[in-house]
Amino acid sequence: MTDQATPKPKLVRWIIGLPVAMFAILMLISQLLFNASPDKETQWLERETIRLCWKEREKGPKEGTPAQFTEGQCEKLEFDFKTRWGMNP
């Protein structure tokens, strides 16, 4: 008798390899799109700053910490965002 290794079915390779390849392709595409528009990250950071400003103005600073945003600063941040990007935050 000869000992021959049973060949692995090719279907298993496709079932495992196809989702992995699709995930890698989608990650590459998303990275390329993100690098194509670096202003998106800057806009997101500015929007989050404005959101945190209004949140602190509504609730007040945490106990034992000084206020990070002064009176009228939220309005100025919104105005600067509208002026720079031409849209509302």
Hey, where are the domains in the chain?
10-85
CA–CA separation, 66 and 50 (whole Å): 18
pTM assigned to the model? 0.56
Do the Cβ atoms of 39 and 81 come closer than 8 Å?
no
DSSP 64: T
Q: Round to whole Å and give the CA distance between 74 and 26.
A: 37
Per-residue pLDDT tens, the chain, 89 aa: give them.
556 666 667 888 888 899 999 999 999 988 887 776 778 888 889 999 999 999 888 887 777 778 788 888 999 999 999 999 888 88
Task: Name the token pair of 8.
Answer: 């692995």
